[in-house]
Structure 1
Amino acid sequence: MITSGELRPGDPIPSEAELCRRFNSSRSPVRQAVTALRHEGLLSGGQGRRSIVQSRASSQSFTTLLSFTEWCRSIGAVPGQRTLELARRPGEDEVTASFDLEPGSSVVEVLRLRTMDGAPAMLERAVFPPEVGRHLFDFDTDTGSIYEHLTGQGVELYRAENRIDALGAPDADADQLGVAPGAPLLRVQRRTSDPRGRLLEIADDRYLPDRAAFTVVNTRSGAAGLSRFPTTDRTAS
């Protein structure tokens, strides 16, 4: 209801009884759902007071591992991509060591321009060890999500560690994103591993700040985690 715009920031949510009738549910799962939304910072109130909508739900929490494609779909945007490079080459020493490979071993590198509703949004760089990256050579990387393809091939992308900072756009990045050299970009450096802790991906995603922002929502019960929000009005684009 929040995502669709039926409920907007400042609106009270329906009573428990109304929610139970609408969703043909008992009170227990309704209460659990409302409590979860409070912990995420989307609702205020509680303890005898009607809960009020505090925020839009069009975010991707970094407490779950979602691809750029899945995030775009979740906010009603159309994801796109154009592959600029897909290559197998000797990896840098730091990269091969991270993958527990011998120095000079080959890795698979991908560079793609990612779009939202046809407009540039992010440059995606990713490096994979050969046993993971080999799956990309039988996949058209211009057609969709690399994560979805790898998962379909049995690759267990389980845990991601994200580091966020900012940088000025290098000339090559600026040219692909359509901005001036040195323009600010938001960078997410990601290391993705399987359930056993084996590193499967080293990634560097560089966002235009007018397409995405990162927000931390805190409540008195604790941190709700980091979320990624679109910074454009989806209804106007």
Structure 2
Amino acid sequence: MGTEVQDRKEHQQHREIATFLRAAINGGEFPPGRPLPSEAELTEKFRTSRGPVRQAMATLRSEGLVSSGRGRRTIVLDTVPTQSFDGVISYSEWCRQSGFEPGQVTQSVTRHAAGPVLAAGLDIQPSDHVVSVFRLRLLNGRPAMVERLNYPLAVGRHILTFDTDSGSIYQHLIESGVDINNATRTIDAIGADPDDARLLEVAEGTPLLRVKRRGFSSDGRPIEFSDDRYLQGTASFTLNTVRGNPSPLSMVPTE
């Protein structure tokens, strides 16, 4: 029992240390290029052992905020942490992680034949049925993004009985046992079509940031093919790359 209590205490301590350092980095106390306090300084400040301090540093490294190596001080790389998988997939979770209130106004939920475009994106036959959701997404009550979600029927059937104005479709799918394991995102710009313009309250042709997403199960099956269009000024993307490590971003030429 003593070991379990100690483990819980150290887990709580490493979270407290990581939260403190993350806030200090985001607040500019430790700008990019500056070293963080040493292990000895942090163990003294938080009255803990080196274990929780090292765990906290590992957490910040996994978020892309800091870099460190043997014999070197931990250096701040960026002030923007990497997103969790939930934050990448779920607009609602992204809003909450960013300190904003998400919202949604559903325009339609339909079951229909996939057709050639959705069939290619979901690796199914054009005659196979899909479930499509068309929603306006809100950020603190204001229009921010137009969302077009598409799922094969085996996944989308869970949405047909869900109130899509009530919250996160992603969370509902997870709670329904859907295996959402990984995703790819393609980012480009597109002019607002008539539906985008009406919902986002802008002129047709206004440039929008488009994020096309494909979600996959753990065995590689496509289970989502979506198109999110963000109002300019709503979101941007930040990427931190370290020499010697592969970048999660690929620049792909288009014709």
Shorter-chain TM-score above 0.5:
yes
Q: 2:172, 2:45 → 1: CA distance?
A: 37
- When the two structures are aligned, how many residues end up with a matched partner? 226
Question: How do residues 165-204 of structure 1 correspond to structure 2 at under 5 angstroms?
Answer: 165-204=188-227
Q: Is the 8 A contact 1:80 1:114 kept in 2?
A: yes
So what's the TM-score if we normalise by structure 1?
A: 0.81
- Look up the SS of the partner of 2:110 in the other structure: strand
- Look up the SS of the partner of 1:207 in the other structure: strand
Structure having the higher helix fraction is 2
Q: 1:49, 1:156 → 2: CA distance?
A: 41
**1:209/1:182 Cα in 2 relative to 1: closer, same or farther (>3 Å)?**
same
Structure 1 runs not aligned, ≥5 long:
227-237
**1:38/1:132 Cα in 2 relative to 1: closer, same or farther (>3 Å)?**
closer
In structure 2, what is the equivalent of residue 216 of structure 1? 239
Structure having the higher strand fraction is 1
Deviations 1:40-76 (A, max 9, x none): 4423676666545453346526797541111111111
Q: 1:142, 1:80 → 2: CA distance?
A: 8
Q: 1:181, 1:143 → 2: CA distance?
A: 29
In structure 2, what is the equivalent of residue 120 of structure 1? 143
The AA in structure 2 aligned to 1:133 is G
The AA in structure 2 aligned to 1:153 is S
Q: Is the 8 A contact 2:65 2:80 kept in 1?
A: yes
Rg (Cα) greater in structure: 2
Does residue 108 (structure 1) correspond to residue 127 (structure 2)? The answer is: no
Q: 2:92, 2:86 → 1: CA distance?
A: 17
Structure 2 runs not aligned, ≥5 long:
1-19, 250-255
**1:26/1:149 Cα in 2 relative to 1: closer, same or farther (>3 Å)?**
same
Q: 2:77, 2:28 → 1: CA distance?
A: 5
Q: Is the 8 A contact 2:111 2:129 kept in 1?
A: yes
Q: Is the 8 A contact 1:170 1:182 kept in 2?
A: yes
Deviations 1:71-123 (A, max 9, x none): 11111111111111101111112323554544322211001111111122211
**1:159/1:182 Cα in 2 relative to 1: closer, same or farther (>3 Å)?**
same
Pairwise CA RMSD: 2.9
**1:165/1:24 Cα in 2 relative to 1: closer, same or farther (>3 Å)?**
farther
So what's the TM-score if we normalise by structure 2?
A: 0.76
In structure 2, what is the equivalent of residue 43 of structure 1? 66
Q: Is the 8 A contact 2:65 2:81 kept in 1?
A: no
